[in-house]
Structure 1
Amino acid sequence: MTREDEYVLGRGITDSVRLEAQHLLWKLHKGYELHPQIPITDNMKIAEVGTGTAVWIFDVARQLPSSVQLHGFDISNSQYPPKELWPKNVSLGLLDSLSDPPMSLAGQYDMVHLRMWASNLRDSDTSSLIRHVKCLLKPGGYIQWEDADLVHQHVQGDKAQEFEQRINGIFQRVGLDYSWVSDLPNRLRQNSFCIIESESGHFELNLVQLCTNTYLLALREILQGIKRILDHDLLLSITEQEVALYQLSSQNTDGFIYNWSPVSLLARRED
């Protein structure tokens, strides 16, 4: 099985729409796409790893001078828009961000963006990804990272809380350990990054429903992905949770909340 096949989330049309709804969620939560403390210079180069549909790249391209180069990378190009729709200063390519990048990309970027890697890493191992990003950056380059803390969640409602307990048990059995997200600032410091800003917390009330809706869609993708690529001994348990998730989703007007906690940081490569 290739690394591309191990991706636990989906890449279909509805999965792409879910990604783009999450982009809206982050945009409304943070109030920006590119952190305002990142200096914009002529001919600077920006990369995004795990770009997905490239919605962040396309949004940022609208706001920056055309001399800025934006490069999106992913292990699969199946969610990329058709090439004729790309802005002239945008390129999208294939890259395994859990392996060392080619030498032609080493030290090329002023800034690298990452978002929502929580379900892409097994057993809490961030070392390969952080090493990859550090290699892409110029000395003094910036990393902007937004992710989902699925450990410190905001879950409200009896059925939602029961579902959370059961699905967390499945996550543990298949090696989906989300504890690293809250530890991300420390892990970056250990790799010679200076933390400029680190924030965690919860969504404002006007964004709680958007997070709940997109999270339930993502959980459906994750359960389907686990069935597709992981331990078949769990098939019955996963199917039971898919039924429970469907029942939970059909009651989304009953006032329940199912939110992960947003974690965001800005850091700079020191060496």
Structure 2
Amino acid sequence: MSPASLTKIEHSAYWTPNITSFKTSARLHLQHFLVQNTLGFLLDEEIEKSITASSPLRVADLGCGNGIWLTELSSELLRRGMPAQLDGYDINPVNFPHTVHLPPSVSLKKLDILLEELPSDLLGTYDIVHVQGFTSLVVNSNVTPLLSVVLAFLKPGGFLQWVEVPTDDLVVESPSPTTTKIACEKITESLKGIAQAQGIVGDWVASLDQCLLTHCFDSVRMYAKEKRQQDFQAWTEDYLMVLEELALFFPSRKQDPQAPITREAWEELFSDAVGETLQGVVVHQRKLSIAVGRKPT
């Protein structure tokens, strides 16, 4: 399956089905705790140093999913006796918890930050903006639209914390030379091909600090955190859940017999890939990249 043959596959802004799914929300919880296992923090240490209890902290999480990062941050700030207003924004609200289950300091709202006009009452109001996992939404390595939103949300002197997975670093590893990993390699290459056909590549992640500098952030820092080997299987399971969800985007053989990939073909390949992971094959990226920058005062 070449990238060129995949251009017919319909692209969605969601990259996962826009339907209510307890599996999707469970995956987001798993992903959050795997990220925390890797990072060891919710907020970068320099951002932590800037926080004081003298005034309520305002934090925005862009692409917040089910709000798990915000609810965990709420617990941490409450433990430290620090007042805060924590706002999450996502184009897809189907995974938002019911408001009765959210801490009083957390609010989740539907907002397409890249297409909709930003509410005027939110401009220049946030001390911290958190961004994570936007590689599938950055087209042609153009981070300007997203960074423009971040700058619009931040107060002068406010911080951006951006955690990203270098998608070009996706690896498939077998526990032994005799354990096949053909299906896992094929399905990950197919996924890369679909993304590349839409202009989605991860090469910009390696120079994210330069992107921040170009957009006039100061106090810019960038570093990487290696994933723990004991988490590789859980990362694999997290990716498998994404790959399983993607089947809904492909037409069935009955709908389009000539499609580059049919739903049935994807499901068969996925089943073979799952079989390989049961034999110890893992699919993961080696590290997470973290970029921190401050809006000029």
Q: Shared topology, TM-score over 0.5?
A: yes
Partner of 2:35: helix, strand, or coil?
helix
Q: CA deviation at 1:224?
A: 3.2
> TM-score, normalized by length of structure 2?
0.80
Greater alpha carbon shift after TM alignment, 71-80 vs 48-57: 71-80
Matched with 1:178 is 202
* Superposition CA RMSD, Å: 2.5
Per-residue deviation, 1:107: 0.6
Q: Secondary structure at the match of 2:277?
A: coil
Contact 1:8 1:226 in 2 (8 A): no
Helix, strand or coil at the partner of 1:151: helix
For residue 201 of structure 1, report the CA deviation from its aligned partner.
5.5
Question: Is 2:127–2:159's contact at 8 Å kept on the other side of the alignment?
Answer: yes
- 1:114-129 mapped onto 2 (5 Å cutoff): 114-129=131-146
Q: Could you tell me which residue of structure 1 aligns to residue 16 of structure 2?
A: 9
Query: Could you tell me whether the CA contact under 8 Å between 1:139 and 1:270 is conserved in 2?
Result: yes
1:32–1:233 distance in 2 versus 1, CA, 3 Å: farther
Selected match of 1:34 from 34, 43, 59: 43
Cα deviation, residue 259, structure 1: 0.5
Q: Which runs of 5+ in 1 are unaligned?
A: none
Amino-acid identity (%): 25
CA contact (8 A) 2:218 2:293 kept: yes
Contact 1:146 1:262 in 2 (8 A): yes
- Among residues 211, 221, 243, which one is paired with 1:219 in the alignment? 243
Separation of aligned partners in 2, 1:118 and 1:226? 21
Paired residue type of 1:207: D
CA distance in 2 between counterparts of 1:116 and 1:52 reads 10
Give secondary structure in 2 for the equivalent of 1:138.
Answer: strand
TM-score under structure 1 length normalisation: 0.88
- For 1:222 and 1:262, locate their aligned partners in 2 and report how far apart those are by CA, in whole Å: 23
Q: What secondary structure, in the 3-state scheme, does the structure 1 residue paired with 2:136 have?
A: coil
Q: Distance in 2 between matches of 1:233 and 1:132?
A: 42
1:53 maps to 2:60: no
Amino acid at match of 2:166: D
| DSSP 3-state at the match of 2:148 | helix
Measure the CA separation in 2 of the matches of 1:233 and 1:35.
Answer: 50
Partner secondary structure for residue 140 of structure 2: coil
**Can you list the C-alpha shifts for 1:95-126, whole angstroms capped at 9, x where unaligned?**
22114522211110000011111223333332
* Aligned positions of 1:54-203 closer than 5 A: 54-64=67-77, 65=81, 67-99=83-115, 100-157=117-174, 158-159=181-182, 160-194=184-218, 196-200=220-224, 202-203=226-227
Larger mean Cα displacement after TM superposition, 200-209 or 38-47: 200-209
Shift in alpha-carbon separation, 1:117–1:176, aligned structure 2, 3 A: same
Map of 1:267 onto structure 2? 293
Please identify, of 56-65 and 11-20, the stretch whose mean Cα deviation from structure 2 is larger: 11-20
SS of the residue corresponding to residue 171 of structure 1 reads: helix
Tell me the alpha carbon deviations over residues 143-197 of structure 1, each in whole angstroms, 9 at most, x when there is no partner: 1111221102232143133433333223222333232322322211111113543
Compute the displacement of 1:237 (Å): 2.0
How far does residue 93 in structure 1 lie from its aligned partner after superposition?
Answer: 1.5
Equivalent pairs, count: 265
> Is the radius of gyration larger for structure 1 or structure 2?
2
Moved more, 5-14 or 21-30: 5-14
Q: Which amino acid aligns with 2:165?
A: A
Q: CA deviation at 1:233?
A: 9.3
Q: Displacement, 1:55? A: 0.4
- In 2 relative to 1, CA 223–142 (structure 1 residues): closer, same or farther, beyond 3 Å? farther
Contact 1:167 1:241 in 2 (8 A): no
Q: Which residue of 44, 47, 53 corresponds with 2:57?
A: 44
Q: Within 1, Cα distance between the matches of 2:44 and 2:225?
A: 18
Structure 2 runs not aligned, ≥5 long? 1-11, 175-180
